[in-house]
Structure 1
């Protein structure tokens, strides 16, 4: 715990109440992620994915894992990244284009409409409701993810699970980048 507190010290000098509140909040979040912490969260799937919300369920574990990576809590960060990339009961990567199995019916207009398709205001519905996989792969898009019971319905109309968002996709880039480096991110702030 002392190591964690020292790593959190880069947030700023004590005395600045706003910065101190952020530091305290970050410490509380990190302590909640550590499995042996007295304040460890029990809000997880059976496979260990942090669970907060059914809608776009990956936003919270990916953001938490990125923050954990900044504090060099790599084991936790890696566990969440591994789940996203296919180490889950479905053996599915939720990062489109990564691995052998990933969502084929991403709720994304650019992925679901053929390049030569007519794209007026209402023309897109024929592809939204199509039973064919997307003609274009939205490589690098992170979809919403599985439900708490670790099921996933790969359907364009299932926006809770198949819609990619920039706030997911951007954070997964930071998380994966932080996990491939061998240096401590926190040390670089010192």
Structure 2
């Protein structure tokens, strides 16, 4: 919704888009797979620029968020400070650099067959980014020179350790280099591999890490990695209401995965993605998830994902599709500058910083329909007000949409899943 480049969540977006292609690209229609790769490349081209001055400098953000958030203007009219926020060695940026490494490594796999030269560039730079992350350990938002401008927006709230393991796991998958496997095994304990295992999003990679690493245990019988499958199983069990696990992830009365905070659909889309990926890993190896006294197979995991997708697309108490432009009823007043302000085709003259307020405060639907965007979504009681000012519910984000690409690819290819 704003005009700032926040590298931390954007790198996660790129990772999940690339992972969508890796896992579900084969079932995408060729034109849609090309579209997905174009979207990945849009992100990775930018990320390559952001680390072009390694080994000693990484760019972590572009645009002053405080002045940007004081304005409501189109990207074409943007006149706020385009400050470049930099972390120089030996200052830490393990989170941003680690996620950037993951994104570039995952993308290198997505492009391996269609553009091997680009794939090699991505992988070479992923290694550089990871080296910075590991050498200069710490959170980027702890640097005094940038803290006030990256926080409270995309601070590292959950610690940088998970991004180190996540980056190493993606480099292991992309390179098959044993040094990254050794890194995961040697550092898993100290970097908290078994902590916060029921979270997955731009700030916490633990559940995704466990699913990703468990693939190697399931398919390669790497018994030293068995704890990652146990953690992945444990996470899946929290999503199965019938399981006897002590903790279950909260659902709204209508059945949507719900976690407090904002942009709640990010949890539903990213967790749905993990459900489908893990279901595939289990199915290929004829295994199941162990939930105390019961076992949960791929079919049950896919059913849980399908319930989330159906809810998001309109099968919910409000009958509201939370994907803009899809279905008979969808959000009309999303918190998005380009959608809510007149197109430059309709009003070519500039709309200044405060001149946009009249459109922000307008009760009318947005003039430009941002087709396909997923908004933050409803409250814990399934209510949704369609209010432009309520950014926690009405703002679309790339990291809500990215995992949904893979999810929809799966269900479009498997429409008869009962």
TM-score, reference length from structure 1 = 0.83
Which protein is richer in strand relative to its size? 2
1:163 is the counterpart of 2:370: no
Give runs of aligned pairs for residues 46-57 of structure 1, distance below 5 A: 46-57=253-264
Give runs of aligned pairs for residues 136-175 of structure 1, distance below 5 A: 136-175=368-407
Aligned to 2:224: 15
SS in 2 for 1:98: coil
1:179 is the counterpart of 2:179: no
TM-score, reference length from structure 2 = 0.39
Matches of 1:125 and 1:22, distance apart in 2 = 49
Matches of 2:389 and 2:353, distance apart in 1 = 18
**Cα shift at 1:37:** 1.2
Select the structure with the greater relative contact order (CA < 8 A; seq sep ≥ 6): 1
1:65 is the counterpart of 2:272: yes
Distance change (3 Å), C-alpha of 1:155 and 1:9: closer
Distance change (3 Å), C-alpha of 1:42 and 1:22: closer
Matches of 2:314 and 2:270, distance apart in 1 = 18
Distance change (3 Å), C-alpha of 1:135 and 1:48: same
**Cα shift at 1:64:** 1.0
**Cα shift at 1:9:** 4.6
Matches of 2:354 and 2:223, distance apart in 1 = 56
Give unpaired runs (5+ residues) of structure 2: 1-212, 280-300
Match of 1:27 among 233, 244, 247: 233
**Cα shift at 1:171:** 1.5
SS in 1 for 2:238: helix
Give runs of aligned pairs for residues 75-94 of structure 1, distance below 5 A: 75-94=303-322
**Cα shift at 1:22:** 4.2
Most deviating of 116-125 and 139-148: 116-125
How many residue pairs get aligned? The number is 173
Match of 1:107 among 335, 357, 380: 335
Matches of 1:58 and 1:84, distance apart in 2 = 8
1:41 is the counterpart of 2:281: no
Distance change (3 Å), C-alpha of 1:21 and 1:113: farther
**Cα shift at 1:26:** 2.1
Give unpaired runs (5+ residues) of structure 1: 1-7, 183-190
**Cα shift at 1:54:** 4.2
Which protein is richer in helix relative to its size? 2
**Cα shift at 1:167:** 0.3
